[in-house]
Amino acid sequence: MENILEIKNLSTYFYLENSIVKAVEGISFNLRKGEVLGLVGESGCGKSVTAYSIINLIDKPGKVGKGEVIFDKKDLLKINQNQLRNIRGKDISLIFQEPHAALNPVYTVGFQIAETVKAHNKNIHKKDLKKRVEELLLKVGLSPNKKNSYPHNLSGGEAQRVMIAQSLSCNPKILIADEPTTALDVTVQAKIIKLFKKLQKEENFSLIFITHDLALCSQIADRVAVMYAGQLVELASLAKIIKEPLHPYTQALFGSLPQKERRKERLAAVGGDVPDPDRKPKGCFFGPRCKIKEKDCLDKQPKLEEVKEGHWVRCFKRGDRG
């Protein structure tokens, strides 16, 4: 399948007064046309920073360092702000986690949706604009009358639908959804996931779905990328990740999920904590918590390698076996 976005060795560091926080360290993956890529990891592993780095939304003291983000034959990290602005919101758009924090409380939602449309179609007629806004609201399952509501009139689920309408307003080729359902209740979450699936079929955009919830990811993703401490540790199709996760961290994540058949039993938890971003271990980042580690793991950094077709793992022990 054709790649629509190629990310090569992306690194984003935050330069603090007395330390450098390496939030994202050398991430590489491709996004294929029309696929849903789930980006999974625990808090602080660099999922969101990766998403923001793709469209260079990192503010000081952070900086996207080396690396390339190739979209439409252009490197998004090299082009200037004006060109970038034409791509943001149009070709690549982003949905944030907290819909109420992302919407402006003093404008109606209709105005905010129209704003994006106008920004990319300068000469659009007023009537067309109004039609487009209503059409977008309908598409995300809201009544067109909602365009006159203010964000505080909306429930969390409705606000998230407005965010989705806004991000879809210019028919993006790539949609990046950063934990779009984390702030919502499960029943609402289920509806939003259903909406994402429907829209993805209709609009055929590529979706990067960021979440910390593996089970949720398995509902929507075609491929899954697992992140740990700023690195990609495993990347494979959903079926492969579920059936035979190769990285010990991915295995541990699955072990941590309560299962139907094993009530009241101990969960296979990983000991220890995620390393501090400015005090990462010397060797494999997961090394100190790993159950199958060897001496080498604590000294040297494993590389992300393709062990089987389409199955990438960053681990010495697994790499040798595969």
Partner 1 sequence: MEKILEVKNLKKYYPVQKGIFSKTSDSVKAVDGVSFSVQSGKTLGLVGESGCGKSTLARAVLRLIEPDLGFIFFKNKDITKLSYKEMKNIRRNFQIIFQDPFGSLDPRFTVFAIISEGLINFSANTKKEVIYEKTVKAVEDVGLSKDILNRYPHEFSGGQRQRISIARALVFSPKLLILDEPVSSLDVSIQAQIINLLINLQKEKGLSYVFIAHDLSVVRHICDQVCVMKSGKIVERGETSQIFANPTNSYTQRLLNSIPQINLHSTS
95: amino acid identity, one letter: I
242 near partner 1 (CB under 8 A): yes
**Residue 138 or 257 with smaller CB distance to partner 1:** 257
> From CA 14, how far away is CA 63, in angstroms rounded?
6
**Residue 87 or 233 with smaller CB distance to partner 1:** 233
> From CA 216, how far away is CA 210, in angstroms rounded?
10
Of 28, 37, 77, 48, residue with least CA distance to 206? 37
Among 4-12, 52-60, 101-109, 206-214, the segment contacting partner 1 (CB under 8 A) = 206-214
**Residue 116 or 189 with smaller CB distance to partner 1:** 189
Of 56, 45, 7, 52, residue with least CA distance to 23? 45
Burial label for 295, CB within 10 Å (0-12, 13-18, 19+), is exposed
Query: Tokens representing 76?
Result: 């998004």
Among 16-24, 58-66, 168-176, 247-255, the segment contacting partner 1 (CB under 8 A) = 247-255
Site string for partner 1, 29-58 (x = CB under 8 A): -------------xx---------------
252 near partner 1 (CB under 8 A): yes
Nearest-10 crossing angle of helices 109-120, 126-139 = 120
Of 68, 64, 65, 122, residue with least CA distance to 90? 122
269 near partner 1 (CB under 8 A): yes
Among 81-89, 168-176, 268-276, 309-317, the segment contacting partner 1 (CB under 8 A) = 268-276
Which residue from 218, 298, 305, 322 is in contact with partner 1, where contact means CB under 8 A?
Answer: 218
Which residues would be at the binding site for partner 1 (CB under 8 A)? 42-43, 185-187, 189-190, 193, 212-216, 218-219, 237-239, 242-243, 252-260, 262-264, 266-271, 273-274
